[in-house]
Amino acid sequence: MKVPLIAAGGIANEKGIAAAFALGADAVQIGTAFLATQESGALPEHRNALFSDAAKQTILTCAYTGRLGRGITTQLAKEVRGKEHDMLPFPLQIAFMSSLRKAALEQDKHDSVFFWSGQIASDFETQKN
């Protein structure tokens, strides 16, 4: 039985897709490139961040969900770095962080909000409409 190979990470355009297939992938997963679209349902602040200089600095953290994920580096992410062992497991960490996220968004304190982003987002800066 053949296990399908799905390429993911750093793929945001037709060249990346073609390269993945040329290297033997059976499918390609695209994430951040779709987050940047109007149709994604991402908050306008999130989409704006993907097109900003902030997208050049990403961080891996489980502080926001309890599972490891990559997003744009924020002050909160920096402050909890190295304290991952103190985080609640998924999905409890999401519930714990949800009130902070809501309050931070209401007060435009985006340095306390985690915006998902792959490392490819910094390439979007020159592509914004």
For the chain, domain boundaries: 57-121
CA distance 52 to 10: 17
**pLDDT tens profile 27-73:** 999 999 999 899 999 999 999 999 999 999 999 999 889 999 999 99
- Residue range 99-111: average pLDDT? 95
The DSSP annotation for the chain comes to: -PPPPEEESS--SHHHHHHHHHTT-SEEE--HHHHTSGGG---HHHHHHHTSGGGG-EEEESTTTSS-EEEE--HHHHHHTT-GGGSPPTTHHHHHHHHHHHHHHHTT-GGGS--B--GGGGGGGGG--
Question: Which pLDDT score, from 0 to 100, does residue 125 have?
Answer: 54
The DSSP bridge partners found for residue 60 are 70
Whole-model pTM: value is: 0.81
Look at residue 93 in the predicted model and tell me its pLDDT: 94
Place of tokens 């714990």: 96
Of the chain, the percentage scoring pLDDT greater than 70 comes to: 95
- Asked if residue 49 lies in contact with residue 117, where contact means CB atoms within 8 angstroms, the answer is yes
Q: Provide the pLDDT for residue 70.
A: 93
In this prediction, residues 68-82 reach a mean pLDDT of 90
Residue 28 CB partners (closer than 8 Å, separation 6+): 6, 7, 8, 11, 16, 17, 20, 21
Provide the pLDDT for residue 82.
86
Given this model, what pLDDT does residue 127 score?
53
